[in-house]
Amino acid sequence: MTTINPIIRQDYPDPDIIRVGDTYYLLSTTMHFFPGGSLLASHDLVNWEIINYLYTDALDSVPGESLVYEQNIYSHGMWAPTLRYHNGTFYALFISIASGRTFIFTATDPARTWKRTTVKGTYHDASLLFDDDKVYVVYGNREIKITELDPVTFEQKKKGLNITAFTDTHNVGLGYEGSHIYKINGYYYIFNIHWPKTDPAIRTQVVHRAKKIEGPYEEFEMIRDDTDLPGMGVAQGGIVDDPCGNWYGFFFRDNGACGRIPMLTGITFKNGWPTVGKNGKIAPFKLPASTKPSHRYAPLFTSAFGEKTRKGELRLRKQWQFNHLPDCDAFSFTEDTFTIRTKSLSCNVCEARNTLTQRTFFPGCSAEVTVDATALNEFDHAGLCVLQSNYCELSITKEFGTFYLCLITRDPEDNVRERFDCLPGKVEEKIRLSSPVVRLRIDIDFTDLKDICTFSYKTGRRFEKLGCTHHLRFTLDHFCGARFGVFAYSALIAGGTAVFSDFKYSKED
């Protein structure tokens, strides 16, 4: 039996999960980060590693993807994917909120390149079902629809099934969405997130079932559990079986500024209904046996920038993602350094191009890096940040030939609307520096939803702590958990350069 949750202590929302042979695969929402579509693998459902991304280049080719013309795709981009395997092929389908288009990616080897195509229709929070020689997609918000697709083109099949399976008529803050469909032991099961206004008003997981794909569907509340974080319900995700036929659920929990982090549950079928624990409360359960006990997992965080491939080529480590689509001509890296050269003007870190990020860890974590700001232009900023809409940045700036250390924040009360923020942040502290080379450190405490950042810097042998703290906040304008990032931006003259080295990531267990 185990109480190992949260199973992954990072922001991996809207997870879908499958097993192919001895390997479990997990696909999660990545929104405005590139490369996009984080694909993880495991052999025991407990330990996970990043094996690939669905795409590395532009998804929609809109200006907002690249943070140009004062546009962005914060909280948009790749949303709520479905992951399936059928007849030797992996399938991933999702919509881009930026454009409303539906994409389907396919691969025979999930660790290699995925092929992308666009299909007609907008399938919100979709889930695929391969049912003998037919393919269905279930999707929607409040009204859950089922549409039959052509098994070759994945376009809506002419004269195929196209129905509203059921509608959320409860008193809710959020109607049914986040669909996942399965066919198990003669039943069609559709899993949905649900947010009733009844006490306690938390996210819940509901299941509908029917003997026929077209219904009629019965309803059952599967999970109602905040796991001792008031208001932070567990819901939305997929289920998977192990090689022995035992079933498990993989859902996310709201976790404050850290984001939406996955929870693992045991599942038993009682009277044909998938259940967890007792009365919808997650309880200890027996973990599956590892299908590869000797496998060594790459960690979900890294203290290095680059790595050599087997062919001797240099690439960024998979734990890193760019905030929005990068300009590949304006950065370079080695295994131990990352360099940014600015090519445009920005007022704050949310507008900065080529910011390189990693997810933060619950219950606490820290990052530190040495910044060489020697080649900054006047009024440039370069440093270490925690990226959310109410961000904080610890940066070096140059003003009239003198270097300063600045702590800059965005308060959650600031009037930032519709993901558009072109205002400078608030300078909390400003310290004159004797050297443009400084080591910066940010610590985050997520315990009990504190969501607090503290800051320190070092120019000599020891760190000096700044007096200010900053409160992070999960908001819908970014819709993502907090991330560490290294960044540089120019407010007056483009062309400045910053070099980051000796990055160090630490996490609490």
Superfamily of domain 16-275: Glycosyl hydrolase domain; family 43 (2.115.10.20)
Q: Is 374 exposed, middle or buried (0-12, 13-18, 19+ CB in 10 A)?
A: middle
SS3 (DSSP) at 258: helix
> How far apart are the C-alpha atoms of 418 and 478, rounded to whole Å?
9
Strands 33-34 and 321-323, how do they pair?
Answer: antiparallel
Name the percent of the chain lying above pLDDT 90: 85
DSSP at 121: S
Q: Is the pLDDT of residue 355 over 90?
A: yes
Q: Mean of the pLDDT values across residues 448-463?
A: 94
Q: Is the pLDDT of residue 357 over 90?
A: yes
**DSSP result, 300-334:** S--S-SEEE-TTS-EEE-TT-EEESS--GGGEEE-
The pLDDT of residue 278 is 87
Q: Is the pLDDT of residue 415 over 60?
A: no
SS3 (DSSP) at 350: helix
> How far apart are the C-alpha atoms of 312 and 108, rounded to whole Å?
25
Residues 398, 379 contacting (CB under 8 angstroms): yes
Tell if the pTM clears 0.85, that is, is over it. yes
Q: Is the pLDDT of residue 457 over 90?
A: yes
Residue 180 tokens, joined: 């996942």
pLDDT in tens, 363-408: 999 999 999 999 999 999 999 999 999 999 999 999 999 999 999 9
DSSP at 351: G
pLDDT in tens, 462-497: 999 999 999 999 998 899 999 999 999 999 999 999
Q: Where are the domains of the chain?
A: 16-275, 306-507
Of the listed ranges 278-282, 456-460, 468-472, 483-487, the one predicted with least confidence: 278-282
Q: Mean of the pLDDT values across residues 328-341?
A: 98
> How far apart are the C-alpha atoms of 48 and 490, rounded to whole Å?
38
Residue 335 tokens, joined: 């295994």
Smallest CA-to-CA distance from 33 within 256, 370, 259 is with 259
The pLDDT of residue 413 is 59
The pLDDT of residue 2 is 47
> How far apart are the C-alpha atoms of 186 and 211, rounded to whole Å?
6
**DSSP result, 51-96:** EEEEESS-SS--GGGGT-TT---TT-SEEEEEEEEETTEEEEEEEE
> How far apart are the C-alpha atoms of 283 and 294, rounded to whole Å?
28
The pLDDT of residue 230 is 80
Of the listed ranges 2-11, 207-216, 370-379, the one predicted with least confidence: 2-11
> How far apart are the C-alpha atoms of 156 and 135, rounded to whole Å?
10
**DSSP result, 182-193:** EEETTEEEEEEE
Q: Is the pLDDT of residue 417 over 70?
A: no
SS3 (DSSP) at 115: strand
pLDDT in tens, 73-116: 999 999 999 999 999 999 999 999 878 899 999 999 999 999 99
Compare 421 and 37 and report the one with higher pLDDT. 37
DSSP at 286: P
Q: Is the pLDDT of residue 1 over 90?
A: no
297: left (phi over 0), alpha (psi -120 to 50) or beta: beta
CATH of the domain spanning 306-507, picked from 1.20.120.530, 3.40.50.2300, 2.60.120.200, 3.40.630.40: 2.60.120.200
**In the block, residue with structure tokens 């002419």:** 158
Residues 246, 287 contacting (CB under 8 angstroms): no
DSSP at 21: T
The model's confidence at residue 416, banded by pLDDT at 50, 70 and 90, is low
Q: Mean of the pLDDT values across residues 401-425?
A: 81
160: left (phi over 0), alpha (psi -120 to 50) or beta: beta
Of the listed ranges 13-27, 244-258, 414-428, the one predicted with least confidence: 414-428
Name the percent of the chain lying above pLDDT 70: 97
**497 Cβ contact partners less than 8 Å away, ≥ 6 residues apart:** 339, 340, 341, 342, 375, 376, 488
* CA R_g for the chain: 23
Residues 298, 273 contacting (CB under 8 angstroms): no
Domains 16-275 and 306-507 share a fold: no
The pLDDT of residue 199 is 66
Q: Mean of the pLDDT values across residues 423-448?
A: 96
Residues 34, 88 contacting (CB under 8 angstroms): no
Q: Mean of the pLDDT values across residues 280-297?
A: 93
Of the listed ranges 155-164, 197-206, 291-300, the one predicted with least confidence: 197-206
pLDDT in tens, 49-69: 999 999 999 998 899 999 998
The model's confidence at residue 418, banded by pLDDT at 50, 70 and 90, is low
Mean pLDDT of the chain: 94
Residue 190 tokens, joined: 């559709």
Residues 81, 92 contacting (CB under 8 angstroms): yes
pLDDT in tens, 232-244: 889 999 999 999 9
**305 Cβ contact partners less than 8 Å away, ≥ 6 residues apart:** 316, 317, 320, 333, 334, 335, 336, 337, 338, 356, 500, 503
The model's confidence at residue 35, banded by pLDDT at 50, 70 and 90, is very high
